[in-house]
Structure 1
């Protein structure tokens, strides 16, 4: 545990389950801690991430600190610490949403001292000034595989097939049904293709998940369409490295890191226009972008890369190069630390 007295920045993460936001916090904080006194705070912070217990929050000394929230409940906690307990906090909120906020959320956002948008599109939905800081990823952790065969053997994946992945929470907004239908259209005539869907399933979406598995079973493709649980170690990088192609069929997304993570592992992508995908996927060079819910286009774009190994290899190289140049988490961390320092020095 970090000594709360030494902290300049607190990054709360009040969600126990893995999510894109959770992943972002736990990858950023150790990196930012090299340059500024920062710690995460929440119910399930992994070892190795600088952290303080939530029980330490009421007893924080009243010297200036930054509170960086990414969810509504974290914004509310920061406001309460500042207004009710008199803590000298500068409040920051990162908004990834690409929709109009509800009234109470708008009120909380107005209480912030600074607002960060993860994309220009997210910024357009805000009614307060913001600065755009794109997410980045750890390009050392998410890196190409030196040899996919032993990695696949370690992960109990087929070693001699073309693996097409779709990772993340399994729910309608993520478009898992679109991925399933596209693969069921493509796989019968491509016996060397295996689909891999991996992610957590909440109680509310168990029926949806079971419906997907039933559809695959009825198509007689259960042996080549793998449904896997989320990685228990919260390290999905190995699974990306094992892939040949990644599909992001989202109907809605806040930002969406998984295509970027795939690209960092030299895996080309097919993605919809959801989230910030258009901001960081070079269309026609490292992947294909298709319209949301356009199943025919999604299927055709996937077929193009499945049937053209030379193009797939070229896209893979371009994907890795693009991430290294433009999408590194170090760039995101540096921009946020600069913001923190401005707030700490403000009147």
Structure 2
């Protein structure tokens, strides 16, 4: 306990984007020497963790420091931090990460105002906060998401026609994710582009099973069942990215959204809707790595996608810029380093 400098509480058992962030980030933070331990249920056993009874030892600061950081990502994690610091007088500095892109309730504002430092996962998120915030955008593992050495072999390995270009849409299959927009765009575009095929990868939970079934039937009725594949959920999703020439992120709403980063790290250009952080992570203009279009607009999604499908030179140029763009700005090591700076600033505040 004396070595733990940062506590990352996770007080929800259900897997969520917040939980996924903790799972991916904590090992990297520790590898960089930040000495982070988790607290709470729903996390894999390989992560450094504290037991509930270890909270009684928080009155003693970590070795060589005056304060320990409590990094909350939800309301139900901010409140215990406030009680431990203000009621029990434990030497804690409180950091909160906000990913919300909506006006906060009065209760949430009350909690946020009592933080020592606030992080926003995007500029758009920061605009919804009433307190100063440091923007620390999520990053991805560029070793896991890396280009294929042989794209033809990558397609063959996944049972795809190695002679066709492939366009993908990955993520949960549901209305919010815009899977129907992707399918409708493919039904519109593929008949006149015989050199292309499409892949939908992701799971439809029980409440969205009928939605997926409707999409499959629509594809069958269009006579494209052999060119639009629904491949389900895969733990090796990085291998599916390596089969792609173009990626579409058609979400209607998103908190942040990692799939465009994963695609670009794999050397794949992106068509994305203007939700979450997509407009801040996809480079447009002279350094183009993709295009951002209005959310929920099928015509805009289809038109932007068609332009990339029909212009090999533009698509290949964007692909060549995609991975360097991610490596410069969006690695998970970079995210961990920027958080370390926030922790240090919070520890100095009021010292």
Please give the alpha-carbon distance, in whole angstroms, between the structure 2 residues aligned to 1:124 and 1:248: 23
Is residue 35–residue 337 contact of structure 1 (8 Å, CA) maintained in 2? Answer: no
Superposition pairs of residues 174-253 of structure 1, within 5 angstroms: 174-231=177-234, 233=235, 235-253=236-254
Is the alpha carbon distance of 1:170 and 1:83 closer, same or farther for their aligned partners in structure 2, counting shifts above 3 Å? Answer: farther
2:264 aligned residue: 263
Is residue 10–residue 38 contact of structure 1 (8 Å, CA) maintained in 2? Answer: yes
SS in 1 for 2:334: helix
**Unpaired segments of 5 or more residues in structure 2?**
62-66
Is residue 246–residue 270 contact of structure 1 (8 Å, CA) maintained in 2? Answer: yes
- Provide Cα deviations, 1:210-250, integer angstroms capped at 9, x if missing partner: 3322322322322322223332x4x5322222211110111
Which of 34, 37, 42 pairs up with 2:35? 37
Please give the alpha-carbon distance, in whole angstroms, between the structure 2 residues aligned to 1:228 and 1:11: 35
Q: CA deviation at 1:14?
A: 4.2
Is residue 268–residue 286 contact of structure 1 (8 Å, CA) maintained in 2? Answer: yes
1:273 aligned residue: 274
Which of 8, 13, 26 pairs up with 1:11? 8
- TM-score, reference length from structure 2: 0.87
The answer to whether 1:300 aligns with 2:298 is no
The answer to whether 1:112 aligns with 2:115 is yes
Is the alpha carbon distance of 1:13 and 1:151 closer, same or farther for their aligned partners in structure 2, counting shifts above 3 Å? Answer: farther
- Provide Cα deviations, 1:79-128, integer angstroms capped at 9, x if missing partner: 45445665433221111222112233222222322111112211111112
1:24 aligned residue: 21
Is the alpha carbon distance of 1:57 and 1:110 closer, same or farther for their aligned partners in structure 2, counting shifts above 3 Å? Answer: farther
The alignment of Structure 1 onto Structure 2 pairs a total of residues equal to: 341
SS in 2 for 1:172: coil
1:150 aligned residue: 153
Please give the alpha-carbon distance, in whole angstroms, between the structure 2 residues aligned to 1:210 and 1:71: 34
Which of 142, 146, 171 pairs up with 1:168? 171
1:254 aligned residue: 255
Which of 124, 135, 139 pairs up with 1:132? 135
Please give the alpha-carbon distance, in whole angstroms, between the structure 1 residues aligned to 2:186 and 2:232: 19
Please give the alpha-carbon distance, in whole angstroms, between the structure 1 residues aligned to 2:83 and 2:202: 34
Is the alpha carbon distance of 1:228 and 1:67 closer, same or farther for their aligned partners in structure 2, counting shifts above 3 Å? Answer: farther
Please give the alpha-carbon distance, in whole angstroms, between the structure 1 residues aligned to 2:320 and 2:8: 35
Please give the alpha-carbon distance, in whole angstroms, between the structure 1 residues aligned to 2:52 and 2:162: 48
Q: CA deviation at 1:138?
A: 2.0
SS in 1 for 2:163: coil
**Unpaired segments of 5 or more residues in structure 1?**
none
Query: Bigger CA drift: 311-320 or 137-146?
Result: 137-146
- TM-score, reference length from structure 1: 0.88
Kindly name which structure, 1 or 2, has the bigger radius of gyration based on alpha carbons: 2
Please give the alpha-carbon distance, in whole angstroms, between the structure 2 residues aligned to 1:54 and 1:228: 40
Superposition pairs of residues 62-141 of structure 1, within 5 angstroms: 62=59, 63=61, 64-82=67-85, 87-141=90-144
